[in-house]
């Protein structure tokens, strides 16, 4: 007789625990710490958006490609690149001239793609906090149309996150241990690739 799955056994719980170190390490990156600095400048925010655009454009072009038809409707709408494009327009930045990240996590299997998507979707939870802070920090100095990315899902944020969590737990409930491990590895690689990309772009700005 199989033992019932506990909340600690779910893929969402395993992903949270298994990526904790990589998540904390990313949060210590200077580009992200600067978001809450008292002297944070609008130009810094616009540059961060351009770094994000390059990363998400590279990620999502692979992540949402060739999805099984029965999963496309519940996953493809979670793309964020178009939101970053709208934010960049608020600063008159043409995304066509921005570098795109190609040093990305392996995304050959659906399990790997879902591990990557866990990180991208999870970033929206902190995004609401960041959006509120930036509104208060910049006031009228921040274009009203420059927070599409961080305000993704709006008032439906928790509903969307819970829906994603439910999908993930259902999918991996019958998946192999190999697929579960692959998802966790891909999630960690997503954190690390994002940090490497952002740090690389920031360093290039100072040259």
What's the pLDDT tens digit per position in 103-130? 999 999 999 999 999 999 999 999 999 9
Structure token digits, residue 181: 């491990």
Instruction: Give the angle 17-123-86 at the CA atoms, nearest 5°.
Output: 165
* DSSP class per residue in 30-57: HHHHGGG-TT--HHHHHHHHHHHHHHHH
Structure token digits, residue 93: 């930045």
- pLDDT at 206 (0 to 100): 73
- pLDDT at 205 (0 to 100): 80
Whose structure tokens read 């190999």? Answer: 178
- pLDDT at 4 (0 to 100): 45
Inter-CA distances, 27 with 4, 30, 142, 159, Å: 35, 8, 23, 25
Chain centroid offset of residue 15 CA = 14
- pLDDT at 144 (0 to 100): 87
Rounded distance between C-alpha atoms, residue 84 and residue 89, angstroms: 9
What's the pLDDT tens digit per position in 123-171? 999 999 999 999 999 999 999 899 999 999 999 999 999 999 999 999 9
pLDDT at 197 over 90: yes
What's the pLDDT tens digit per position in 65-107? 999 998 998 999 999 999 999 999 999 999 999 999 999 999 9
- pLDDT at 114 (0 to 100): 98
Whose structure tokens read 């954190």? Answer: 191
């Amino acid at each position: 007789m199989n033992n019932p799955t506990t909340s600690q056994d779910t893929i969402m719980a395993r992903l949270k625990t298994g990526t904790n170190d990589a998540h904390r390490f990313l949060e210590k990156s200077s580009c992200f710490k600067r978001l809450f600095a008292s002297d944070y400048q609008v130009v810094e925010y616009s540059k961060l958006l351009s770094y994000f655009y390059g990363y998400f454009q590279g990620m999502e072009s692979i992540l949402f490609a060739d999805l099984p038809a029965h999963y496309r409707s519940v996953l493809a709408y979670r793309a964020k690149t178009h939101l970053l494009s709208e934010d960049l327009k608020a600063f008159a930045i043409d995304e066509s001239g921005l570098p795109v990240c190609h040093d990305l996590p392996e995304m050959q299997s659906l399990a790997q793609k879902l591990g990557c998507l866990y990180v991208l979707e999870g970033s929206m939870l902190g995004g609401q906090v960041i959006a509120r802070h930036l509104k208060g920090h910049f006031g009228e100095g921040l274009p009203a149309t420059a927070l599409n990315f961080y305000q993704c899902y709006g008032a439906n944020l928790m509903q969307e996150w819970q829906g994603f969590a439910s999908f993930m737990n259902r999918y991996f409930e019958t998946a192999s241990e190999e697929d579960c491990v692959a998802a966790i590895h891909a999630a960690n690689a997503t954190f690390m690739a994002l940090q490497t990309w952002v740090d690389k772009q920031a360093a290039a700005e100072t040259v």
